[in-house]
């Protein structure tokens, strides 16, 4: 049960970070095709409503028994199929403090639907048992500051610092039913995090090369429910820190339409409970493609599709955004 709850926290934390990273890359590529400055201009205010869909599927087979012959197994065989679906609606507000400095605040609303199917092959039951859990609520609110180091010559370098709160429902505070399924799915990672990052953008008309990297530090959190089913809750949870790298290319089809293609990697280190390591190192790799369509001098539409390349990465993630400049 500990591993299951920690995995839920890590998954929500990684998905949230990936969404913010994808938004920044797609917007930066679109903006860099038109102007040297890739931050929100000084004194300008931008609102961006976004929608994201994420699907993650895992299959697991548990065998408890022994082998009498190479083709004969005596014991219990249990198959489990888990489908985790997440919908996220968010509103991001950005303000150009100067031509080099941009401030951002992002508030998400998350809805989750978890479906877990179990089949015990040893009991002879034809129909598998299916458990579902669904619910939504406020996610983890984020704030960020970005600084563009150079304006005159390429490549352009942008440094950033992102702070993620724990306003969403923590996986460490949500009760589990007798089947170890969340009664009310969490909508946040359960801890604060701090993420410094660096992005490089290199326009080569009509293309733009980009690369980004950073490190996410997850702070220690308290468990509201005890992970050993005791009555007292005094566990200290430290979700594994992670670092990420991404690179790709954007290409201008014309003065209104551009598309991008990139690859992302993230390594998530082991978590710990009360100072003891728990879980394992995760490797998340994904391929991202997207496009940006300029509707007017104040509005554009961005879309990106991310496909997981490794077992730990979400299978598919679809993002839509519409930044509006004021």
Tell me the three state secondary structure of residue 299.
Answer: strand
Q: What residue ranges do the domains of the chain occupy?
A: 2-325
CA dihedral 131, 76, 278, 60 (to 10 degrees): -60
Give pLDDT tens digits for 5-26: 555 555 555 555 444 444 445 4
pLDDT at 123 > cutoff 60: no
What pLDDT, on the 0 to 100 scale, is given for residue 226? 57
Query: Lowest mean pLDDT: which of 123-127, 133-137, 193-197, 216-220?
Result: 123-127
> CATH homologous superfamily of domain 2-325?
Autotransporter beta-domain (2.40.128.130)
Per-residue pLDDT band for 27 (boundaries 50, 70, 90) equals: low
Give pLDDT tens digits for 206-254: 888 889 999 999 998 887 765 555 444 667 888 889 999 999 998 888 8
What pLDDT, on the 0 to 100 scale, is given for residue 10? 54
The DSSP-derived string for 146-214 is EEE--SSSSSEEEEEEEEE---SPPTTTS-B-TTS-BSS---S-SS-EEEEEEEEEEEETTEEEEEEEE
Instruction: Find the mean pLDDT for residues 114-120.
Output: 76
Give pLDDT tens digits for 54-109: 988 876 554 444 444 444 444 445 556 778 899 999 999 999 999 899 999 999 99
d(C-alpha 323, C-alpha 93), whole Å? 9
d(C-alpha 43, C-alpha 53), whole Å? 33
Cis ω for the linkage preceding 155 (within 30 of 0): yes
Tell me the three state secondary structure of residue 313.
Answer: coil
CA dihedral 189, 200, 249, 107 (to 10 degrees): 30
Give pLDDT tens digits for 259-308: 889 999 999 998 888 878 877 888 989 999 988 888 988 898 999 999 99
Task: Look up the pTM and report it.
Answer: 0.82
């Amino acid at each position: 049960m500990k591993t299951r709850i920690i995995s839920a926290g890590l998954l929500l934390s990684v998905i949230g970070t990936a969404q913010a990273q994808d938004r920044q890359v797609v917007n930066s590529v679109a903006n860099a095709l038109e102007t040297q400055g890739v931050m929100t201009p000084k004194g300008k205010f931008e609102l961006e409503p976004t929608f994201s869909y994420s699907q993650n599927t895992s299959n697991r087979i548990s065998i408890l028994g022994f082998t009498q012959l190479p083709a004969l197994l005596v014991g219990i065989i249990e198959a489990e199929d888990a489908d985790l679906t997440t919908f996220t609606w968010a509103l991001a507000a950005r303000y150009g403090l100067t031509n080099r400095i941009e401030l951002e605040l992002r508030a998400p609303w998350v809805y989750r639907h978890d479906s877990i199917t179990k089949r015990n092959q040893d009991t002879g039951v034809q129909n598998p048992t299916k458990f579902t859990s669904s619910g939504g609520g406020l996610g983890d609110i984020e704030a960020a500051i970005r600084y563009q180091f150079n304006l005159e010559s390429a490549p352009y370098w942008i440094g950033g610092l992102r702070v993620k709160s724990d306003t969403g429902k923590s996986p460490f505070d949500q009760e589990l039913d007798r089947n170890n399924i969340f009664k009310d799915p969490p909508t946040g990672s359960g801890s604060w995090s701090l993420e410094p990052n660096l992005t490089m953008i290199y326009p080569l008309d009509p293309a733009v090369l980009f690369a980004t990297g950073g490190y996410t530090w997850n702070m220690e959190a308290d468990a509201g429910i005890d992970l050993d089913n005791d009555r007292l809750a005094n566990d200290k949870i430290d979700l594994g820190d992670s670092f990420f790298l991404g690179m790709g290319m954007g290409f201008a089809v014309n003065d209104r339409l551009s598309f991008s293609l990139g690859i992302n990697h993230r390594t998530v280190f082991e978590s710990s409970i009360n100072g003891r390591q728990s879980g394992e190192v995760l490797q998340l790799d994904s391929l991202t493609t997207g496009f940006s369509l300029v509707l007017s001098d104040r509005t554009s539409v961005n879309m990106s599709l991310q496909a997981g390349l490794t077992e730990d990465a979400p299978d598919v993630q679809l993002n839509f955004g519409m930044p509006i400049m004021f």
